[in-house]
Every structure is written in structure tokens, then in C-alpha cells.
């Protein structure tokens, strides 16, 4: 049995959940987990139906894009996932999805502000827009890198979809759901023609600081492994 077996099972589980909950269709999107203590990730393969996959089909890839395990090619967005892990040390899981309401804001190129406290403490004080670039391109990877420093856990990919990250795969998926909840309600609020209010800035900042404290704890945990 592969030493990466549990990572493969978890990536498959959440990839299928993403599909079953309507956060993507067909073979769209991709899911990955960082292997603890290694520059290695488990990621869904390219252009394969989620419900037809088994754990053995999940790819194990290092940060140089070398395939360690897997009979299929890894997702063409693998470079994007690696960029997140390299630039956000608090991240241990990445989900790229195509949820309906978040994708609406991907088309109108409008960030979703902090509108609920339970969302803000999970994903940050804004769901910002990452400028468009072709899926799988180096340009898209570079565009993602420019936004990661805001330390939020969710992003909208212009004319593409959404990106969520977390300290573990469960949190990354929860963040996806929080982002989609906020996007759905914000969309309907805007459709009334009335002004949609955001959280008071001081409260949004406080909740964001609490979220960043959790990120800092995970970064310190990783650093302690190296010592």
C-alpha cells in the first residue's frame, strides 16, 4: 500500500463531494492536499470523471512536477496548486471549483466583501478577483501569486471559477461553501436594487485578525518540524 494512501482517499472524497454538491460539472475543477513534511502533493488527474476514479487514480507529484505515483497525468492546474503551497505556508489543501454564484462574480469582475461574521472569520475580509489568464498557463499562476499575500482563504478567478484553500482539506471545502453562501446572498441582495451593506470595518478587521492568528499557528507548526 502506498504511504500516500490516505491523502489519495481524501482528495478523491472531496473531489466527489465537490461534484455532488454542484460546485462543478463533468471533469471541471481540481483538488489537492499537501503531504505533511514533504514538498509533495496529492492531486486529481486531468480530464477524468470524479465518480469513475479510485484512490489509485489520484496523482502524487513533487514540487518540480515529477510524477511519483499515478497512471494518469495530473491536473493541468498542478502548477497553480504548487504556487499556493510555496507562497502560503498556512495552506495544506487547495480546491479549484466552478460554483454558480461565485462564478457570477467571476463574470462581472466584482469582489465579494465581508458581509457575515461567520464567513469573514473563515475566509477573510474580501473574496478578491484574480485577473483572467488561460487555464493551466504560467500567466494564471503568476496572477494567483499576486493575490495570495492578502492572506484570505478564497478567491474568484475572472471568467473561470473559484479557488479556496485551508489548513486541511475539510477547512478548504468549508471555505468553498462559505464563499458560495456569501456570493449567493450578495447576488440576491444586489438584485433588489438596494445597497448591500458590508460588515463594519472594525469588526471585519477583528475577525480577519483572528483568522490570521490560526494561519500563524499552522505556519509555526510547520517550522517546528524543520528544526
Among the options 69, 77, 218, 220, which is catalytic?
77
Instruction: Name the E strands within the chain.
Output: 30-34, 40-43, 59-62, 67-69, 93-97, 112-113, 126-130, 154-157, 161-166
160, three cell numbers: 473561470
Q: Whole-prediction pTM value?
A: 0.97
DSSP 128: E
Residue 1: pLDDT band with limits 50, 70, 90: confident
**Domain of 115?**
5-226
pLDDT digits (tens, 9 = 90+) for 164-207: 999 999 999 999 999 999 999 999 999 999 999 999 999 999 99
The CATH number of residue 52's host domain is 3.40.225.10
> Cβ contacts of residue 41 below 8 Å, gap of 6+?
32, 33, 34, 35, 60, 61, 63, 78, 81, 82, 85
Residue 226: pLDDT band with limits 50, 70, 90: confident
Residue 225: pLDDT band with limits 50, 70, 90: confident
- Determine whether 218 is an active site residue: no
Give the residues across from 34 on adjacent strands.
Answer: 41
Sign of CA dihedral 148, 65, 45, 137: positive
Mean pLDDT across 137-141: 97
What is the number of domains present in the chain? 1
Average pLDDT of the chain to the nearest whole number: 97
pLDDT digits (tens, 9 = 90+) for 72-130: 999 999 999 999 999 999 999 999 999 999 999 999 999 999 999 999 999 999 999 99
Amino acid at each position: 500500500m502506498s504511504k500516500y494512501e490516505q491523502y489519495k482517499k481524501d482528495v478523491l472524497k472531496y473531489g466527489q463531494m465537490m461534484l455532488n454538491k454542484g460546485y462543478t460539472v463533468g471533469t471541471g475543477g481540481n483538488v489537492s492536499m499537501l503531504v505533511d513534511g514533504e514538498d509533495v502533493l496529492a492531486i486529481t488527474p486531468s480530464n477524468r470523471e470524479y465518480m469513475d476514479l479510485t484512490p489509485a487514480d489520484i496523482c502524487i507529484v513533487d514540487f518540480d512536477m515529477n510524477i511519483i505515483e499515478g497512471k494518469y497525468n495530473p491536473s493541468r492546474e498542478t502548477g497553480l496548486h504548487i504556487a499556493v503551497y510555496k507562497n502560503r505556508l498556512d495552506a495544506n489543501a487547495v480546491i479549484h471549483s466552478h460554483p454558480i454564484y461565485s462564478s457570477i462574480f467571476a463574470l462581472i469582475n466584482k469582489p465579494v466583501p465581508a458581509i457575515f461574521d461567520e464567513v469573514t472569520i473563515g475566509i477573510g475580509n474580501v473574496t478578491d478577483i484574480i485577473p483572467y489568464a488561460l487555464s493551466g498557463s504560467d500567466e494564471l499562476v503568476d496572477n494567483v501569486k499576486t493575490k495570495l499575500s492578502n492572506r484570505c482563504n478564497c478567491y474568484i478567478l475572472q471568467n473561470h471559477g473559484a479557488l479556496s484553500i485551508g489548513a486541511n482539506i475539510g477547512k478548504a471545502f468549508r471555505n468553498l461553501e462559505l464563499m458560495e453562501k456569501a456570493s449567493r446572498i450578495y447576488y440576491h441582495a444586489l438584485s433588489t436594487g438596494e445597497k448591500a451593506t458590508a460588515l463594519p470595518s472594525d469588526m471585519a478587521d477583528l475577525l480577519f485578525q483572528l483568522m490570521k492568528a490560526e494561519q500563524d499557528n499552522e505556519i509555526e507548526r510547520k517550522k517546528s518540524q524543520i528544526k
